[in-house]
């Protein structure tokens, strides 16, 4: 494998000079035939793939009016060109959002517009041939569907939706990406992205209980499949496996314990994440999402709370109702899923739990807005709640908090570089480079304010930054969860009631 | 399917070099996989590999990193019971690189 070179950290984000084809060799692995078949996709590329791809394209244009609009409406104003972290990091002009979209638009013109059908190349129309399909596979898997470019688009074109449609078309002709499809297979059959079976989950949670007991002296349970519990917590399964993810898991458990609220995990729906969204496939998204609501009904919980996971929050908050609603079996006071940050902050404000900020005095904290939370969802009942709530919670748990520079936070946040189904090792060079804009903004506050804790609310962000920090010469221990801070600060002991 | 040539036998691996058939694993092959990864196997490395394999046998998945850290701390001494030490042993990550040498599948998900 070629040596991965991280860009130099200067604390500044600069628009690069173009380097044609610079990331053309960054390709995802192709999904295995058995995996494709298990998800009802063709095992491998169909002999008549082109015909089928165009047919699927036409179907999607009819099904999603927004896609049709996005195909027609772009005026090539260029507002999106320098907004993509993968473009800034790789310098490859095909990663300019408008250029990536053009890979699809020129096929659209060829098959779905009169001028394209009549004048072909003169009307900037192109046939979907082998080369172009390869470019689709390369560059639509170099988009993390973070929608930063969409935020700047004067027409509001949803680039992520275009990427999702391209992936959906490719899957439908038997040309899928291994990483996302392997995970969808596990989520649908085992119940989580890791492929962790019930006994392993229980063993893991037993271990976490022992850890908490050893460190705090308090008996805190992480229950599974408790019928009649008030809350079903669904969290990314990475919380059951990875570091620092588990530290937030410990944080959630302490919060429930101290507030005296009964809760449970489900071993059937032991995953908040939903990779069906990443491949733009409605059926798989629905199947994965349904597990959560089936579990909620079966366990007779009053409410559903989502752990720290960016795209899961989008899938649960923005799509659950359409996919598998209505949720009339939940307590009417809690009709939709609640984010764990909102839940915990509410308890802090009510005085039901108390946080000792000085427990985090060793840290100067900054917060990275995760793309799917920032640009594709809300939190709480106020506009901008998804920005306010995590920050208020962090500030309730520590004394030293610093913002990164404007233009890199809130709705303008940069993706971590590993979202949207790209958190896979064969794309490591792309991931390192794609993280660069965020790393520059972070470097600036490390230098100016001594930031040494990088707080996150997404499992992908946590895994991505833990992996790529060392490439930039930073310690991976800086990466942590918001509930990791809560976990350190929460005062356990005699309850004063909710 | 890619293969690696081990003692004149073709062993099936995936694109990242993880064994496809877990039964192909033996200690000699583990040493060979470690060589490819540029990891020099010591007793500490074997502790990790053996623990991973035993856990996998029981639960069909690799253990949470924290469980592995705790176990290594128990066996090798508390000063070694931390993630940093595991990364010293396996710079490619205690989950991914150690799993590869232990002949286990690659962990999937947001990890």
CATH number, domain with residue A47: 1.10.1060
Q: Give the distance from residue A460's alpha carbon to the nearest chain B alpha carbon, in angstroms.
A: 5
Residue A498 banded pLDDT, cuts 50, 70, 90 = very low
Q: Which residues make beta-bridge pairs with A231? A: A263, A303
- What CATH number does residue B60 fall under? 1.10.10.370
Asked if residue A258 and residue A112 are part of one domain, the reply reads no
pLDDT at A1 exceeding the cut of 70: no
Which element (helix H / strand E) includes A456?
strand A453-456
Runs of H (alpha helix) within A217-304: 245-259, 282-298
Do residues B65 and A243 touch, judged by C-beta distance below 8 A?
Answer: yes
Would you state the pLDDT for residue A289?
98
Runs of H (alpha helix) within A113-190: 114-119, 130-139, 148-152, 159-172, 178-189
Asked if residue A199 and residue A166 are part of one domain, the reply reads no
Q: What is the mean pLDDT of chain A?
A: 96
Asked, for residue A24, whether it belongs to a domain, the answer is: no
Do residues A88 and A430 touch, judged by C-beta distance below 8 A?
Answer: no
**Percent above pLDDT 90 for chain A:** 97
**Per-residue pLDDT tens digits for A43-68:** 999 999 999 999 999 999 999 999 99
Asked, for residue A130, whether it belongs to a domain, the answer is: yes
Would you state the pLDDT for residue A215?
97
Asked, for residue A414, whether it belongs to a domain, the answer is: no
The most distant pair of C-alpha atoms in chain B lies apart, rounded to whole Å, by 42
Asked, for residue A340, whether it belongs to a domain, the answer is: yes
Asked if residue A316 and residue A464 are part of one domain, the reply reads yes
What share of residues in chain A are helix, strand, coil (percent, to 5)?
55, 5, 40
Partners of residue A207 in chain B, C-beta under 8 Å: 64, 66-67, 70
Residue A81: how many other CB atoms lie within 10 Å = 18
Q: Which residue, A183, A214, A237, sits at the end of a domain?
A: A183
Asked if residue A247 and residue A385 are part of one domain, the reply reads yes
**Percent above pLDDT 70 for chain A:** 99
Would you state the pLDDT for residue A194?
97
Asked, for residue A72, whether it belongs to a domain, the answer is: yes
Q: What residue numbers bound the domain in which A49 lies?
A: 33-183
Asked if residue A198 and residue A176 are part of one domain, the reply reads no
Residue A3 banded pLDDT, cuts 50, 70, 90 = low
Distance CA A312, CA A334 (A): 18
Asked if residue A478 and residue A390 are part of one domain, the reply reads yes
Average pLDDT over residues A22-28: 97
Asked if residue A202 and residue A140 are part of one domain, the reply reads no
Asked, for residue A16, whether it belongs to a domain, the answer is: no
Asked, for residue A135, whether it belongs to a domain, the answer is: yes
Which residue from B90, B106, B108 is spatially nearest to B49, judged by alpha carbons? B90
Q: Which residue, A135, A163, A183, sits at the end of a domain?
A: A183
Give which of A181, A194, A272 to mutate to test B binding, by max B Cβ within 10 Å.
Answer: A194
Asked, for residue A431, whether it belongs to a domain, the answer is: no
Which pTM was predicted?
0.97
What letter does residue B19 receive in the DSSP assignment? B
Q: 74-113 in A: which are within 8 Å (CB) of B?
A: none
Do residues A277 and A246 touch, judged by C-beta distance below 8 A?
Answer: no
Asked if residue A200 and residue A174 are part of one domain, the reply reads no
The torsion defined by the Cα of A33, A174, A191 and A276, in degrees rounded to 10, comes to 160
Distance CA A498, CA A392 (A): 20
pLDDT at B102 exceeding the cut of 70: yes
**Per-residue pLDDT tens digits for A257-284:** 999 999 999 999 999 999 999 999 999 9
**Per-residue pLDDT tens digits for A322-360:** 999 999 999 999 888 999 999 999 999 999 999 999 999
Which residue from A234, A261, A262 is spatially nearest to A249, judged by alpha carbons? A234
pLDDT at B1 exceeding the cut of 90: no
Asked if residue A300 and residue A247 are part of one domain, the reply reads yes
Asked if residue A273 and residue A174 are part of one domain, the reply reads no
Asked if residue A156 and residue A245 are part of one domain, the reply reads no
pLDDT at A441 exceeding the cut of 70: yes
The answer to whether A241 contacts B16, with C-beta atoms less than 8 Å apart, is no
Q: What residue numbers bound the domain in which B36 lies?
A: 1-111
Would you state the pLDDT for residue A495?
63
Cβ contacts of A352-355, under 8 Å, gap ≥ 24: A352/A258, A352/A259, A352/A260, A352/A496, A352/A497, A352/A498, A353/A255, A353/A258, A353/A259, A353/A490, A353/A491, A354/A490, A354/A491, A355/A396, A355/A397, A355/A486, A355/A489, A355/A490, A355/A491
pLDDT at A161 exceeding the cut of 50: yes
Count of domains forming chain A: 2
Distance CA A367, CA B79 (A): 31
Average pLDDT over residues B84-108: 94
Asked if residue A149 and residue A217 are part of one domain, the reply reads no
The answer to whether B108 contacts A240, with C-beta atoms less than 8 Å apart, is no
**Percent above pLDDT 70 for chain B:** 100
């Amino acid at each position: 494998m070629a040596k991965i070179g991280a860009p130099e950290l200067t604390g500044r984000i600069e628009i690069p000079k173009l380097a044609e084809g610079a990331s053309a060799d960054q390709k995802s692995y192709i999904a295995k035939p058995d995996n494709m078949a298990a998800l009802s996709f063709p095992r491998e590329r169909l002999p008549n793939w082109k015909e089928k791809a165009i047919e699927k394209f036409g179907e999607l244009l009819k099904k999603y009016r927004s896609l049709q609009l996005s195909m027609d409406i772009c005026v090539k104003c260029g507002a999106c060109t320098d907004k993509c972290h993968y473009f800034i990091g790789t310098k490859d002009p095909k990663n300019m959002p408008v250029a990536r979209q053009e890979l699809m638009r020129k096929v659209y013109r060829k098959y779905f517009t009169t001028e394209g059908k009549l004048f072909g190349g003169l009307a900037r129309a192109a046939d979907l041939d082998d080369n172009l399909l390869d470019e689709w596979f390369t560059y639509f898997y170099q988009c993390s569907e973070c929608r930063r470019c969409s935020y700047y688009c004067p027409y509001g074109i949803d680039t992520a939706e275009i990427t999702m449609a391209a992936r959906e078309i490719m899957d439908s002709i038997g040309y899928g990406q291994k990483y996302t499809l392997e995970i969808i297979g596990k989520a649908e059959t085992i119940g989580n992205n890791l492929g962790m079976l019930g006994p392993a989950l229980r063993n893991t949670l037993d271990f976490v209980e022992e850890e908490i007991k050893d460190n705090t002296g308090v008996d805190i349970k992480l229950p599974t499949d408790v019928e009649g519990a008030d809350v079903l917590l669904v969290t990314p399964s990475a919380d059951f496996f990875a570091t620092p993810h588990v530290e937030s898991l410990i944080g959630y458990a302490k919060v429930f314990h101290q507030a005296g609220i009964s809760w449970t995990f489900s071993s059937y729906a032991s995953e908040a994440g939903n990779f069906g969204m990443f491949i733009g496939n409605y059926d798989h998204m629905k199947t994965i999402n349904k597990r959560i609501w089936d579990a909620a009904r079966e366990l007779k919980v009053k409410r559903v709370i989502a752990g720290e996971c960016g795209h899961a929050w989008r899938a649960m908050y923005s799509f659950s109702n359409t996919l598998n609603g209505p949720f009339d079996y939940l307590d009417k006071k809690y009709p939709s899923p609640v984010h764990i940050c909102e839940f915990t902050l509410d308890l802090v404000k009510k005085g039901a739990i108390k946080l000792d900020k000085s427990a985090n005095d060793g840290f100067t904290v900054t917060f990275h807005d995760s793309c799917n939370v920032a640009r594709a969802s809300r939190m709480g009942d106020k506009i901008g709640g998804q920005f306010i709530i995590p920050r208020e919670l962090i500030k309730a748990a520590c004394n030293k908090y610093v913002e990164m520079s404007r233009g890199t936070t809130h709705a303008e946040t940069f993706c971590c570089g590993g979202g949207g189904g790209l958190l896979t090792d064969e794309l490591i060079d792309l991931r390192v480079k794609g993280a660069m804009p965020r790393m520059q903004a972070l470097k600036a506050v490390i230098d100016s304010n001594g930031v040494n804790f990088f707080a996150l609310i997404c499992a992908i962000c946590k895994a991505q930054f833990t992996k790529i920090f060392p490439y930039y010469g930073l310690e991976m221990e800086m990466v942590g969860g918001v509930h990791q801070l809560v976990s350190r600060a929460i005062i356990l002991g005699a309850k004063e009631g909710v | 399917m890619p293969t690696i040539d081990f003692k004149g036998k073709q062993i099936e691996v995936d694109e990242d070099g993880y064994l496809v058939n877990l039964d192909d694993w033996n200690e000699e092959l583990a040493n060979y996989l470690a060589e490819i990864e540029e990891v020099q196997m010591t007793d500490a490395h074997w502790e990790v590999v053996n623990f991973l394999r035993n856990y996998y046998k029981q639960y069909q998945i690799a253990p949470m990193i924290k469980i592995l850290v705790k176990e290594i701390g128990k066996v090798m001494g508390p000063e070694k019971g931390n993630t940093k030490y595991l990364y010293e042993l396996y710079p490619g990550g205690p989950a991914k690189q150690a799993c590869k040498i232990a002949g286990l599948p690659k962990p999937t998900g947001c990890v």
